[in-house]
Amino acid sequence: MAERPYHPGDEVSPRRHARHERALAEATSIVRTLREAGHIAYFAGGCVRDELLGLEPVDYDIATDARPERVSELFGRTSHVGAHFGVVLVRPERDSASVEVATFRSDGSYSDNRRPDEVTFSTPEEDAARRDFTVNALFMDPLVSRDAPARERVIDYVSGVEDLDAGVIRAVGDPDERLAEDHLRALRAVRFAARLGFRIDEGTQEAIRRHARELSGVSRERIGDEMRKVMADRYRAVAIWQLQYLGLDEPVLGEAKERALPRTLGRLPDDAELGTSFAALALDRGLIELSQVAGLVESWRERLCLSNQERDRFKEVLTGLGLLEGEWPLMGVATQKRAASADWFTEALRLVAARDLENMVRIRRRVDQLIGTPSGLSPRPLVDGDALIAAGHRPGPLFGRVLDAVYDAQLEDLISDRAQAMEHASRLFEQWSRETPGSGGSGG
Ligand code: ATP
Ligand code: MG
């Protein structure tokens, strides 16, 4: 899973700080090698933005005038994932992440809305001009002392430093042209603005609105990747509000909906799971009936290329919420205990809390009572399949049912030791095989 994005004001964990230091040292040494070989080389893009904001990026991208073949020659330990875009991955010398080294380029057109059709190697200035937003189009020279003023370390062709200081996301160059080139940039603008607490420049906003519908032409994989990042972010509700405000929700989610405030989403804890965030969004967008869940989940899975695991979680949490807000108070002890120890429970309860805090407190109290029963919430079963077989029961269709029923009796504190459990099992085998002759399993 993607690491949770960091924010201005976040506490940086010692582990993260150490990783940052290693990545910075590694990237700096790559820049030094390139420079000593006579090339231009800078840090580029997101890492420069984050450095200047006082955040500690873990990924450092490098831009250089050295061609991909030359980069491989200089470093050896490379792989050519995107060599036709001029990108070479340099594997680290020490224990740290790989560093992307990209040749300065200007991109051609994006006919399939995915990747530029062709790239032309070019100058730093043109490389800045092909980037999406001014704050993402900065270069930094890591060989200038960190104590030197920013203007001596930063190479800025697009007034990005000004926008960074003012907290503005602004398209590089003509916003209409830049969006027409790649409509995903609309979604990226929303994501960066929410994460950094920036506003989107008016002209860029207008262009986004004008091009909103065309976002549906972008590949589902790319939209899905962006949306995953949006929904994993602590400021997900701000991003979703902005997305709706700019008319991007419909092309992204493929449905016209009344645009309500994303209240539930805004009340989730920062570290809510992705499935929980999607569930909250579905609720905020008017999902009411449990019978609509399967259809909605499937449609978003398709739209956003969610993995099976992500889809299952999304569905499980929504179904769990339905259960907690529906039949929970009427459920028996065993069923409540099973629910409360299911692995969707904590996430579903976070949704309950976001919708109705009192209800969450009621459920929590009940769970505390269940924990206080003699058998507790999820005790080890007194008997298992092997024990039944050892006692002479033949595995068959009744087996699972009997085991479930015996465990229920244990959860309800009707039985409390192994002998009672075995006795209960034998009774059930006898009774049920009489009811359904031929279902087997009796013996003992
Ligand atoms: P993050 O912290 O989310 O990774 P980032 O700025 O590093 O932010 P990436 O998607 O990793 O974003 O891209 C790296 C850089 O490549 C960006 O800063 C930007 O300069 C450029 N870039 C990425 N995607 C696009 C795009 N669709 N159009 C133009 N430039 C882009
Ligand atoms: Mg990045």
Spacing, Cα 204 to ligand 1 middle (Å): 17
Spacing, Cα 389 to ligand 1 middle (Å): 60
Quote the pLDDT of residue 155. Answer: 98
Which residues are CB-contacts of 430 (< 8 A; sequence separation ≥ 6)? 442
Q: Measuring from atom 21 of ligand 1, which residue has the nearest CA?
A: 131
How far apart are the C-alpha atoms of 101 and 62, rounded to whole Å?
5
For 55, the token pair is 């955040």
Spacing, Cα 235 to ligand 2 middle (Å): 18
Q: Which atom of ligand 1 is nearest to the CA of 195?
A: 3
Element at 413 (helix H, strand E): none
Quote the pLDDT of residue 122. Answer: 94
Report the Cα 149 to chain-centroid distance in Å: 36
Quote the pLDDT of residue 397. Answer: 86
How far apart are the C-alpha atoms of 163 and 167, rounded to whole Å?
6
Quote the pLDDT of residue 236. Answer: 97
Task: Classify burial at 27, counting beta carbons within 10 Å of its beta carbon; exposed 0-12, middle 13-18, buried 19 or more.
Answer: buried
Q: Which atom of ligand 1 is nearest to the CA of 181?
A: 28
Q: Contact 183/110 with Cβ under 8 angstroms?
A: no
Q: Measuring from atom 12 of ligand 1, which residue has the nearest CA?
A: 46
Count of CB atoms situated within 10 Å of the CB of 365? 10
Q: Measuring from atom 7 of ligand 1, which residue has the nearest CA?
A: 46
Q: Measuring from atom 3 of ligand 1, which residue has the nearest CA?
A: 46
For 379, the token pair is 């005790």
Give the pocket of ligand 1 (CB within 6 Å): 45-46, 61, 131-132, 136-137, 182, 184-185
Report the Cα 164 to chain-centroid distance in Å: 26
Q: Contact 30/99 with Cβ under 8 angstroms?
A: yes
Q: Measuring from atom 26 of ligand 1, which residue has the nearest CA?
A: 132
How far apart are the C-alpha atoms of 72 and 78, rounded to whole Å?
6
Task: For a ligand 1 pocket test, name from 132, 170, 182, 211 the mutation site with the most ligand atoms within 8 angstroms of its C-beta.
Answer: 132
> Which amino acid is located at 225 in the chain?
D
Quote the pLDDT of residue 373. Answer: 98
Distances (CA, A) of 284 to 250, 289, 293: 14, 13, 13
Largest CA distance in the chain: 89
Which residue, among 241, 231, 324, 221, has the nearest Cα to 273 in the 3D structure? 231
Helix 345-355 with 308-325: angle, nearest 10 deg: 60
How far apart are the C-alpha atoms of 132 and 62, rounded to whole Å?
17
Spacing, Cα 38 to ligand 1 middle (Å): 27
Count of CB atoms situated within 10 Å of the CB of 270? 12
Quote the pLDDT of residue 438. Answer: 63
Q: Tens-of-pLDDT digits for all 444 residues of the chain? A: 445 556 666 667 888 889 999 999 999 999 999 999 999 999 999 999 999 999 988 899 999 999 999 999 999 888 877 777 889 999 887 777 789 999 999 976 655 555 666 779 999 999 999 999 999 999 999 999 989 988 899 999 999 999 999 999 999 999 999 999 999 999 999 999 999 999 999 999 999 999 999 998 899 999 999 999 999 999 999 999 999 999 999 999 988 777 789 999 999 999 999 999 999 999 999 888 888 999 999 999 999 999 999 999 999 999 999 999 999 999 999 999 999 999 999 999 999 999 999 999 999 999 999 999 999 999 999 999 999 999 999 888 899 999 999 999 999 999 999 999 999 999 999 999 888 766 554 443
How far apart are the C-alpha atoms of 140 and 292, rounded to whole Å?
51
Q: Phi, psi (5° rounding) for residue 259? A: -95, 90
Quote the pLDDT of residue 255. Answer: 83
